Amino acid sequence: MQSVQWDVVDSTSTTYGLQVVDRQDANAPWTFFFTSVSLDAYPQMMEAAAQGIGYGSNAVGVTFPADLDEWDIQERGEELPAGTVEIYHHDFGSAILPQATFYAILQVVAERLLARPNQSTNWCAAMRTALAQLQTKLA
């Protein structure tokens, strides 16, 4: 699998005021996943990811190799390679990323979201907990 060169940058065109960009492909559809997860869902999605468990909503989702059972693999026609995740977006399709890249992006996005003013106290507490779980996994 090819490595992914990415950044998290400020953006006035997204709800969160930031966006993930692929340095090698400015139009890479996988980048939209990170700003399409509902802000309220971010802590839950991050907690699941820290446990290596997929998460999905109507718009976006993430799948880990262990999420797939025999039926899923038969339907897909292949397993997800070990050490990867598949992210999907209802408008832009799916992409497979290295887990290390996925986790690194999540960590940066979480830190940036927590730094934004006017977040609810409960959301900030949940996000800090989720971020701590992710950081423990990465340690």
17-34 pLDDT, tens digit per residue, is 888 999 998 888 889 898
Q: Is position 11 within any domain? A: yes
> Would 107 be classed as within a structural domain?
yes
Written in H, E and C, the secondary structure of 56-72 is ECCCEEEECHHHCCHHH
Residue 1 lies in a domain: no
Residue in the structure block whose two tokens are 């999540």: 106
Task: Give the domain extent around 52.
Answer: 6-138
Asked if residue 118 belongs to a domain, the reply is yes
Residue pointed to by tokens 């399709």: 93
**pLDDT digits over 91-134, tens only?**
888 999 999 999 999 999 999 999 988 889 999 999 999 999 99
